[in-house]
Amino acid sequence: MIDPKTKRSEVPEELTWNLKDMFDSDEAWMAEYESLQQLPAQILAYRGRLGESAETLLEFLRAQDELELRFAPFFGYASCKNDQDQADARYQDMRGKAMSCIIAISSAASFATPEIMAIDEDRLNLFYIAQPELETYRRSLYQIRRRKAHILSPEEEKLLAAAGEMAEAPENIGSVFRNADLKFPEVEDSRGEKHALTGGSFVPLEESADRVLRRNAFEALYGRMGEYKNTIAATLDAQFKQLRFFAGARKYPSTIEASLDRTEVPVEVYTNLIEAVHANLDKMYRYVRLRKKLLGVDELHMYDVYTPIVADAAQKIEFEEAKATVLEALSVLGEDYVALLKEGFENRWIDVYENEGKRGGAYSSGNARPHPYVLLNHKDTLDSMFTLAHEMGHALHSYHSCKYQPVCTSDYVIFVAEVASTCNEVLLMRHLLSKTTDKKERAYLINHFLDSFKGTVYRQTMFAEFELMMGRMSEAGQTLTAEALCEKYLELNRLYFGPDMVSDDLIGLEWARIPHFFYNYYVFQYATGFSAAVAIANRILSEGAPAVADYKKFLSGGCSTDPISLLKIAGVDMSSPAPVDSALQLFGELLDEMEKLGE
């Protein structure tokens, strides 16, 4: 592991991602940037012509595919360069140029959707007959035409596309503030030793067995957040105002309906999740009581929720060991899957450790052209090993979709985005549990699994409920002030953690450090994805090869059909409450075993 305050230029190359697979140099990227400036005029040459013939429509759609193949590495390179050191002005500028280029081309192509909408159904059917190769695009064309009520005139679409760059501002400002400008004081442990506190080191510090260190880190982080709460609240208020603007412009009654309609997910899936979790809060309260008992504290505080509840069982897991364990755990997915994992590990798909200015958290780039890229802030902990498995799940999902789908249906929707990543985590946990009968080690692992449930099903549903509250407040004309957000968040925290948790007032500021509130109703899919992943992992482990084959069909499905149908291929029906109920039932069973181990 390296010091989090290491300068980017001092990080060993083997611990960084190899961006030369996209562009050999910044100069090569700039040459592509200059070349892309010609595209708006080329796209505009098709304006007014998409309905004239099957040949013209096919030619335009193929040109769109070629553009996507160029844009993936173009934007990916700028984005990754910016994320590896967000204080570097060169790459802030490069990412800004990439976004401006995307907006310019989107604006030029804004005529396409209304023109495709305007093609008569009988005429479009004749197009399919005249040009059978248009069948490749049938699903994409359906996706456009099904939203006819929400598509505007060509001029209005052009205006909305041009407004897209401004709509990025709240998220971009929030990200730069959290990752580049916001600094935290060092914090002391019970021995008086000082520790660096950063956005990336906060959770590892909260995992410490040293309660003084945990409390000091908690108070220092949220205390500093509190100093800027009005600024952060203003960015969230701006975020929901821009969501309202686009939802209203497209004639949606609410921001959540505008968001979920894009992925063909009924709003009821979102609200039903919240209701299902509310109905199972008794299990969460049992978990809190068990944590309080096993930690042996008179009061359980919010700075006590990350630390393992099994003393002296935490292990340091070097990155090399983490990779080896992940490979072993995921061998149930077949030799071809393991070979891809090894390729990613050996050919620098991953940026491993935190450095000064690096974006916090972890992600997979979301595209696989030329291959996926994964950002980590690895801490040599069990949690970091699970993060590695999680993000490589995303990466290989993208790899399969891009390899087996045509360009136009290779980008899977966010509703299924967390399934592959979480399935990897469940398989890793089941693997680790299968290798030990030692009570202490088993209890440590079950605690981690329980924490995964708490963090993914309960906590992300709490986030989803808070986001829904923010949307409704904004739509009712309320300003999202820091005071109002703290009050609502603290109220929800008390509901979800129950009477045995001291919901410290400072936890009311947690919303200020959560980047996902800028992701447009994204977080609920962590909870639904986790539930689906539990069901898929259980099927893989119990049925073997047939389940693995179905799962790989799902991974290779992209957006070739709606997400509910895709998951049915893998044997999961998310239109029913069964997967969520099953996941929460497993949570209860794990609690039963943990309670016995703790006796």
275-308 per-position pLDDT tens digit: 989 989 999 999 999 999 999 999 999 999 998 8
Take residue 409 and report the two structure tokens written for it: 């249906």
598 pLDDT above the threshold of 80: no
DSSP label of 356: T
Name the packing angle between helices 229-249 and 154-167 (round to 10°): 170
In a domain, 226, yes or no: no
312 pLDDT above the threshold of 90: no
Q: What is the CATH number of the domain that holds 44?
A: 1.20.140.70
Distance of CA 104 to the CA centre of its chain: 26
Q: Considering the chain, what percentage of its residues have pLDDT values greater than 90?
A: 80
Question: Which alpha helices (DSSP H) does 182-228 contain, by range?
Answer: 202-206, 211-227
- How many beta carbons lie within 10 A of that of residue 180, not counting itself? 17
In a domain, 285, yes or no: no
* 447 close to 455: Cβ distance less than 8 angstroms: no
- How many beta carbons lie within 10 A of that of residue 253, not counting itself? 10
State the residue range of the domain holding 58: 8-14+23-167
pLDDT score at 466: 98
What's the CA gap between 129 and 121, in Å, rounded? 13
pLDDT score at 158: 85
Three-state DSSP at 443 gives helix
Residues 6+ apart with CB under 8 A from 437: none
* 527 close to 417: Cβ distance less than 8 angstroms: no
In a domain, 132, yes or no: yes
599 pLDDT above the threshold of 90: no
In a domain, 341, yes or no: no
Q: What is the mean pLDDT of residues 512-516?
A: 93
Q: Give the pLDDT band of residue 439 (cuts 50, 70, 90).
A: confident
373-424 per-position pLDDT tens digit: 999 999 999 889 999 999 999 999 999 999 999 999 999 988 898 899 999 9
pLDDT score at 162: 86
Three-state DSSP at 85 gives coil
125 pLDDT above the threshold of 80: yes
pLDDT score at 444: 86
* 510 close to 290: Cβ distance less than 8 angstroms: no
In a domain, 333, yes or no: no
pLDDT score at 447: 86
Residues labelled catalytic: 391
Dihedral angle sign, alpha carbons of residues 250, 251, 254, 257: negative
Q: Give the pLDDT band of residue 468 (cuts 50, 70, 90).
A: very high
* Mean pLDDT for the chain overall: 94
- Sheet of 374-375: strand order equals 350-351, 374-375, 363-364
In a domain, 69, yes or no: yes
What's the number of domains the chain is made of?
A: 1
What's the CA gap between 208 and 309, in Å, rounded? 11
pLDDT score at 225: 95
Take residue 461 and report the two structure tokens written for it: 């549903």
Residue type, position 330, single letter: L
110 pLDDT above the threshold of 80: yes
What's the CA gap between 489 and 495, in Å, rounded? 10
Q: Considering the chain, what percentage of its residues have pLDDT values greater than 70?
A: 99
In a domain, 529, yes or no: no
pLDDT score at 131: 97
Q: What is the mean pLDDT of residues 316-333?
A: 97
313 pLDDT above the threshold of 70: no
pLDDT score at 311: 67
Question: Which alpha helices (DSSP H) does 228-316 contain, by range?
Answer: 229-249, 255-261, 267-279, 281-295
Nearest of 356, 351, 331 to residue 342 by alpha carbon: 331
Q: Give the pLDDT band of residue 597 (cuts 50, 70, 90).
A: confident
DSSP letters, 474-492, are HHTT----HHHHHHHHHHH
Three-state DSSP at 506 gives helix
What Rg, from alpha-carbon coordinates, does the chain have?
Answer: 24
In a domain, 282, yes or no: no
pLDDT score at 15: 96
Q: What is the mean pLDDT of residues 512-527?
A: 92
